[in-house]
Amino acid sequence: MNIVLLGGPGAGKGTQSDKLVDAFGFCHISTGDILRGAVKAGTELGKKAKGYMDAGDLVPDDLIIDMMKERFQQPDTAEGVILDGFPRTTVQAVALDSLLAELERPLDAALLIDVDPEVIVARLTSRRMCRECGYIGNVSDGDTCPKCAGEMYQRDDDNEDTVRNRLDVYAKSTAPLIDYYRGSDLLVTVNGCQEPDKVFADIKELLGL
């Protein structure tokens, strides 16, 4: 199965991706994780992307599209992918359609994790991540990752000003994709304001997994 995850920052795309991977072994591709890895490693891509990311702005489409073309070359994508954070603009969605057509791999669903923006600011400013394994937790986890004992930290872009900008960018650039996928009859919507396990149960039912 090839699935696009839609939903604003903090909707729970990463959390639900982890659950899908654990249960079904899909290949999870998070553009945010790839970009953070590139920044940490100090690659050319990372140097170009960092300023946009810290401000909560989108990294330019051509950089993202090239990055994803390269990612789809890898054999682990053949079994099916969960795309988390891509596409984020209509230009990227069109590029994904032609990439998948070229690879003869259909898109099965665009899954919208729907949450109220009011909930998001609180969720994101209290979010913490593991530096080692990428586990997504909360300020209540303290300084140590419950999964691997790595160091928990706050993402540079999870401060309140940047979160508000990310929400604006989402509304302006990414929300239009909801209609894009509704138009091609691929849109499936789950209520993301529930407990993560309940959201996951609903997702399995909606996708027939």
Q: Which residues of this protein are in contact with ligand ADP, per CB under 6 A?
A: 9-10, 31-32, 35, 52-53, 56-59, 64, 85-86, 88, 92, 157, 166
Q: How far is the CB of 208 from ligand ADP (least distance, A)?
A: 26
From 23, 78, 148, 171, residue interacting with Zn ion (rule: CB under 5 A): 148
Residue 147 near Zn ion by CB under 5 A: yes
* DSSP line for 112-166: EEE--HHHHHHHHHTEEEETTT--EEEGGGTTB-TTT--BEE--TT-SHHHHHHH
Backbone dihedral angles phi then psi of residue 187, each to the nearest 5 degrees: -75, 130
Work out what residue 32 binds among ligand ADP, Zn ion, none; the CB cut-off runs from 5 to 8 Å by kind.
ligand ADP
From 23, 122, 133, 209, residue interacting with Zn ion (rule: CB under 5 A): 133
Q: How far is the CB of 174 from ligand ADP (least distance, A)?
A: 9
Query: 101 near 120, Cβ under 8 Å?
Result: no
Q: What three-state secondary structure class fits 68?
A: helix
Cα–Cα dist 188/16, whole Å: 15
Work out what residue 101 binds among ligand ADP, Zn ion, none; the CB cut-off runs from 5 to 8 Å by kind.
none
Q: Which of 172, 165, 131 is nearest to 149 (CA)?
A: 131
Q: What three-state secondary structure class fits 88?
A: coil
Site for Zn ion in 29-58 (CB under 5 A): none
Name the residues that contact Zn ion, by CB under 5 A: 130, 132-133, 135, 145, 147-148, 150
What is the set of active-site residues?
13, 88, 127, 155, 166
